[in-house]
Amino acid sequence: MITIKEAVSKKELLEYIKFPFSLYKNHPYWVPPLIDDEMETFDKTKNPAFQSADAKFYIAYKDGKIAGRITAIINWNEVNDQGKRKVRFGWWDVIDDIEVTKALLQKVIEFGKENQLDHVEGPMGFSNLDKVGVVTEGFDEMGSMITWYNFPYYAKHLEQLGYVKEKEYIESKFPFSNVKPESFLKVKDLITKRYELTSLNFTKTKDIMPYVDKMFDLFNDSYAELSSFVAITEVQKEYFKKKYISFINPEYIKFVVDKDQKLVAFSIVMPSFSKALQKANGKLFPFGLFHLLNARKNSKEVLFYLIGVDPFYQSKGVTALIFNEYYETFRQKGITNCIRTPELEDNLAIQNLWKHFDPVIYRRRRTYTVGI
């Protein structure tokens, strides 16, 4: 017998968060989130996403034992401003039982119908800075702190229930040895002179902070044309600034400004925390924080998390300035491997940025949709 309960209390949310820890126990490629971070994400008094979104957290039980979980999300900015009458689902984990998946998704559908929405899409989070997609290829590759991992049967469940592909994402990687500076040095010098641009590098987080709001504005502008994009709000900017920027190595954040100090491009790279998070197993204490700080300082793998260019400067070679700065930073730190986080398969502009580095696609993921 399958029963569904909405997780409301702190105790219930903790049970919700901890379920994948048992589902993926000792799995070599699953990367555990930090439990406290997940609790904050689902706390309506702390996460500013709830100022423009509603969410419900459901737990499935089969024969008295927890068998799955799912979050149903309505992003009201997306519904009201873009006219997309969509209910999202995310944080979906389940045993290999299609009836459990069906019961969980039915709660998402009911939530959508209650709010006069007409279709479901997922897995996805509250915003474009959240995790996205169910893995369809690349199950034998390590996950990351900014992606979900799942078993192969997840996609099969969705397809058997009539869900169809909505968006396809690719993840790729390349060894740092593939990066040949001659591929961007000449362009860098030409673009720098032609547009009077300057690269900004940092060694202290406090020097980055004055630019962060402008960075999020540029993020909104540079990604506005993508079909899946929902702009980051002012209150979300403050939240992400306080929560994440201070933990990212300042030397991994690069800005490009024009002669008037206007921000025209940015990029954020992160050290790989995957192995450190596996050792932490969801907890910062007593040793989790040590593992994370060690990875922050010594990881030889990096993830290209975000990159944005002012629409005026897109396709003008401005990223050559950013790649040049990263080349110097990575060379000094002994970086061996570069990983690209999920990118829309049809976002050819972003993919063209990497063509000189001969990246290899190692994982695919997608969101699925169905009418309700």
Instruction: Give the pLDDT mean for 287-312.
Output: 96
Structure tokens, 13: 């949310």
Which class in CATH covers the domain with range 174-363? alpha beta
Element containing residue 276 per DSSP (H, E): helix 274-280
pLDDT band at 44 (very low <50, low <70, confident <90, very high): very high
Sign of the C-alpha dihedral computed for residues 236, 232, 234 and 54 taken in this order: negative
- Name the fold adopted by 2-171: Aminopeptidase (3.40.630)
Percent of the chain at pLDDT > 90 equals 87
pLDDT of residue 262: 96
- Going from N- to C-terminal start, the domains of the chain cover 2-171, 174-363
pLDDT of residue 315: 87
Bigger pLDDT: 280 or 128?
280
- DSSP string of 32-79? PPPHHHHHHHT-TTT-GGGGSEEEEEEEEEETTEEEEEEEEEEEHHHH
Q: At what angle do helices 153-160 and 98-114 cross, to 10 degrees?
A: 60
pLDDT recorded at residue 241: 86
Token pair 């569904």: residue: 4
Q: What is the pLDDT of residues 223-256, one digit of tens each?
A: 887 766 888 888 988 888 888 888 899 999 999 9
Distance of CA 191 to the CA centre of its chain: 30
pTM, entire model: 0.94
Q: What is the pLDDT of residue 227?
A: 67
For 172-231, what is each residue's pLDDT tens digit?
999 999 999 998 998 999 999 999 999 999 999 999 999 999 999 999 998 887 766 888
Residues 6 or more apart whose CB falls under 8 angstroms from that of 211 comprise 200, 255, 263, 266
What does the pLDDT read at residue 228?
67
Q: For the ranges 30-39, 152-161, 215-224, which has the lowest average pLDDT? A: 215-224
